[in-house]
């Protein structure tokens, strides 16, 4: 089992969710986050004063999948989230040792 974490632009969330549903992903967690990478921040004007926005709003997706579905998930996220501009995001894939469905006690692949 693997855990896929993807940081994407907020307006791409629905596109990514639909792309994942099409390949059989049955659930994910989305969290509003802020951060920066190469995109850095930007300046904005508010009531005549200029200020720097260091952290850019993003959405972090967390998805638990079986090993066989990892590549399809990564490709679906890339295809749906890519705009071709700086700040499209990142995807991290890591091993997931154990998963438990709280309601039923099912474990690992059965819990996903």
Lookup: tokens for 76? 């679906």
pLDDT band at residue 42 under the 50/70/90 scheme: low
State the alpha helices, DSSP H only, in the chain: 13-22, 70-81
How many structural domains are present in the chain?
1
Predicted local distance difference test score (pLDDT) of residue 83: 94
Q: What is the CATH number of the domain that holds 52?
A: 3.30.70.120
What does pTM read for this prediction?
Answer: 0.85
Angle at 95 between CA 91 and CA 100, to 5 degrees: 110
Q: Which domain holds residue 27?
A: 2-111
Whether residue 39 has pLDDT greater than 80:
no
51: left (phi over 0), alpha (psi -120 to 50) or beta: beta
**Residue 24 region, left (φ>0) first, then alpha (ψ -120 to 50), else beta?**
left
pLDDT at 112: 85
Query: Rounded to 10 degrees, what is the CA torsion of 28, 9, 83, 66?
Result: -20
- End-to-end alpha carbon distance in the chain: 9
Q: Which two tokens stand for residue 103?
A: 């309601």
pLDDT of residue 86: 86
């Amino acid at each position: 089992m693997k855990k896929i974490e993807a940081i994407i632009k907020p307006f791409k969330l629905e596109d990514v969710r639909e792309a994942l549903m099409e390949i059989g992903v049955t659930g994910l967690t989305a969290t509003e986050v802020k951060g920066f990478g190469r995109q850095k921040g930007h300046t904005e004007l508010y009531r005549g004063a200029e200020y720097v926005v260091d952290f850019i709003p993003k959405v972090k997706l967390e998805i638990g999948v079986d090993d066989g579905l990892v590549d399809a998930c990564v490709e679906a996220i890339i295809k749906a989230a890519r705009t071709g501009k700086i700040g499209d995001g990142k995807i991290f894939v890591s091993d997931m040792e154990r998963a438990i469905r709280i309601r039923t006690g099912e474990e690992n692949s059965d819990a996903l």
